Amino acid sequence: MRLFRHLPVFGRPAFRAPLAPEIPFAVIGDIHGCDRLLSELISRLERLELPPQHVVCVGDYIDRGDESAAVLRRLHRLTHEAGVTCLLGNHEDMLIDFLDRPERAGPRWLRYGGLQTLASFGLGPIAETAPEEAWRAHRNALRLAMGEDLEAWLRRLPLFWRSGNIAVVHAGADPAVRLSDQSRRSLLWGHPEFSRTARQDGLWVIHGHTVVERIAHRDGRIGIDTGAYATGRLSAALVSTWDVEVIST
Ligand SMILES: [Mn+2]
């Protein structure tokens, strides 16, 4: 993706809100193995008359859809260029956990769609009840198929990104806690108070993880996961001062 150097104002806003980013940016929602949708959305962002200066992906690149390996490789490539940040999602966290302790983390990962990710890297299925050696063999095969660079990149993904009065996180945040003090669990899996209580510090939170029918704002929260895997609709929120515009596949 080329480096964007344009002024803000993308087009007609989906809604207006007192957002004050340092630069205009785009946030891409949960991809879940839908590489063709990701490719289409990125092309559309690049073709905008005034493209965003930065692109943030909220995590959950893998599982459920069939093209997880292709999504990871595309995002890995993109982050070598300026202006793209990929956050860690709970699904990537489960993959890393699987690499670290396959017999413990593997069965749970399968229940979250891990088989599709294994298949996308050319690995056959494995049963939740498989013996420890089988889990370790599968881990070794996945590690080989991924390659060192991709694994190292995954392990370095940040938990949040911030610009001005806006934070981008995967799932949510504890409204009573500063962004820099959030627990890993709140950011990756959400917090029970997140959807119930407005923050008092003026920080806006853009997030994925929970599927929404329409991208809107409520009490300082903007959810952008439009359920690409099930709906075919992958969305980007284009954020500039006071404006959010939405582009969906
Ligand atoms: Mn998630």
Q: Which residues crowd ion ligand 1, with CB under 5 Å?
A: 60, 89-90, 209
Strands 217-218 and 235-240: unpaired
Distance 137 CA to ligand 1 centre (A): 27
Distance 41 CA to ligand 1 centre (A): 20
Domain boundary among 105, 122, 156: 156
Q: Which pLDDT score is estimated for 51?
A: 86
Q: Which pLDDT score is estimated for 84?
A: 95
Number of domains in the chain: 2
In this prediction, residue 20 has a pLDDT band, given cuts at 50, 70 and 90, of very high
Residues 116 and 134 both lie in one domain: yes
Residues 33 and 109 both lie in one domain: no
Distance 91 CA to ligand 1 centre (A): 6
What's the predicted TM-score (pTM) here?
0.93
Residues 75 and 175 both lie in one domain: yes
Summarize pLDDT for 213-226 with one digit per residue, the tens: 999 999 999 999 99
**Residue 125, domain extent:** 90-156
Residues 196 and 209 both lie in one domain: yes
Q: Which pLDDT score is estimated for 131?
A: 96
The DSSP result for 207-227, as a single string, is EEEEE-SS--EETTEEEEE--
Distance 17 CA to ligand 1 centre (A): 25
Distance 7 CA to ligand 1 centre (A): 32
Q: Which pLDDT score is estimated for 11?
A: 52
Residues 95 and 192 both lie in one domain: no
Summarize pLDDT for 127-180 with one digit per residue, the tens: 999 999 999 999 999 999 999 999 999 999 999 999 999 999 999 999 999 999
Instruction: Please provide residue 237's backbone torsions phi and psi, each rounded to the nearest 5 degrees.
Output: -100, 125
Spatial distance between the Cα atoms of 203 and 97, rounded to a whole number of angstroms: 31
Residues 84 and 109 both lie in one domain: no
Distance 170 CA to ligand 1 centre (A): 7
Residues 60 and 181 both lie in one domain: yes
